[in-house]
Amino acid sequence: MVSEGILLGMGNPLLDISAAVDEAFLQKYDVKLNNAILAEEKHLPMYEEMTGMDNVEYIAGGATQNSIKVAQWLLQVPGATSYMGCIGKDKFGGEMKKNAKLAGVNVHYCEDEVAPTGTCAVCVVGGERSLIANLSAANCYKFEHLKRPENWALVEKAKFIYIAGFFLTVSPESIQLVAEHAAKNNKVFTMNLSAPFICEFFKDAQEKALPYMDFVFGNETEARTFSRVHGWETDDIEEIALKISQWPKASGTYKRTTLITQGADPVVVAEDGKVKKFPVIPLPKEKLVDTNGAGDAFVGGFLSQLVQGNPIEECVRAGIYASNVIIQRSGCTYPEKPDFN
């Protein structure tokens, strides 16, 4: 039985501004395909330009929120999931609230009086995507918000916690508090490597959180960056996944499992000193719409089964199913009901 609030996510809520663009657009703004970065001054005009495009779509997103919404969709139990992050008091923030409520997620947003709701430019070229996040309000999450009784109650209620690595740039102290709570109370704490720049420039914060992680998610690019940053001198995904799974742990309640997705190649799962590989569902190129949210969807699908106590094979199968659904649609969106059995 899935209890209310069993899964909690914390992260950077962003409104995705998604549009199909061309190579020239990427070059104009110095953007690489298949990357995730934080916006700099030179990127700011692109948001305005994209909002003027005919094919632009607005989708409530942000990595953690995507995963939580996908888990909620697969669970089909209203309020099974909850989420915290910071938005602005503006039109986009209002959209975000409406969207999350419709999805059945119990959101407790921190609302910033000054900063606008964060946005993420999703540039889609031939199904592949590049993400440029302008955090704005998402960057203003306050540790004090987490400690308010009505919000801390979500932490106490949850038995599983998921935080994308992107949140390390915003509130590492919130992550630490929740991670320590999880270790002390035998809860499952999970995180994502999230982006190469997190592994490189937020290495210390990531290392501080790593001992608490019972499950670590990531993709092949992030895994290889993690390996390089730690001087492991290997590009072998299986070896890297194993090494991450064997990193010392703060709590002995659970072993650590590392899951690395590799696009169309098999998912690599490392635990107990062994590696297993799970092939993904093959998809003909013409059916691929947009890879944005594929990794987030994998995590959401995986967590939807994990919270039900299902074996790892089932969790991975649900993750693969969810990402297969998402890449055939624009943005991290899904049909009304899942047909996962």
Known catalytic residues? 296
Query: Do the Cβ atoms of 277 and 317 come closer than 8 Å?
Result: no
80: alpha, beta or left, given left = phi > 0 and alpha = psi -120 to 50? Answer: alpha
Task: Pull the structure tokens for residue 105.
Answer: 């997620």
The angle subtended at Cα 146 by Cα 207 and Cα 195, nearest 5°, is 35
Nearest to 292 by CA among 18, 99, 13: 18
Radius of gyration of the chain (CA): 18
The Cα–Cα gap between 157 and 80 comes to 10
| HSE-up of residue 222 (Cα within 13 Å, Cβ side) | 30
Eight-class DSSP state of 89: S
Task: Pull the structure tokens for residue 39.
Answer: 């916006």
Tell me the CA distances in angstroms from 332 to 61, 155, 234, 289, 297, one per residue in order.
7, 25, 32, 11, 7
The Cα–Cα gap between 40 and 271 comes to 38
Q: Calculate the CA dihedral of residues 21, 139, 108, 312 and round it to 10 degrees.
A: 70
